[in-house]
Structure 1
């Protein structure tokens, strides 16, 4: 499979429910690199990079989120592939 990157913006009850840590755990378990951060408007933004099957697997997990989350929408857009050395939780954006 080809390497891809997907930019995701996740809406719903996704802050204060360990969403960023959950995203990092799912990415690391699936050998996906990139980053995740909270946005000032209450959404979460992520960039997932890796082989297509792994990225799509993590994307599917993020449509559900961790137990305390309530995901209402995930906007996903492909981005040019860029390698990252791991998966980081960034400071809040916006």
Structure 2
């Protein structure tokens, strides 16, 4: 199965609602590698790597996010695989 990597920016009510925490849980559940962090402008930025179907599932999950989140928009950019290890929640 082909590997894919996406750089993602999520906007809306995505900070202060445990979005990063729940993203980490979902990524670990799916075996996605990468990271997630808050941006100063109120968006969340993430990097997802894994098999194509699982990365697509992760991107779909991001459209809803954590229980209290209100996602307004997602920008995603296909990237080169960087062979990241594990999934990290950054500050």
TM-score, length of structure 1 as denominator length: 0.94
Are 2:3 and 1:12 aligned? no
Q: Which structure 1 residue ranges, 5 or more long, are not aligned? A: none
Aligned to 1:37: 37
Query: Once superposed, what is the RMSD of the aligned Cα atoms?
Result: 0.6
Q: How many angstroms apart in 2 are the aligned matches of 1:83 and 1:53?
A: 17
Aligned to 2:68: 68
User: Aligned pair count?
Assistant: 91
Q: Which structure 2 residue ranges, 5 or more long, are not aligned? A: none
Runs of 4+ in 1 over 2 A off after TM superposition: none
What's the secondary structure of 1:50's corresponding residue? strand
Q: How many angstroms apart in 1 are the aligned matches of 2:79 and 2:25?
A: 22
- In the TM superposition, residue 85 of structure 1 has moved relative to its aligned partner by 1.4
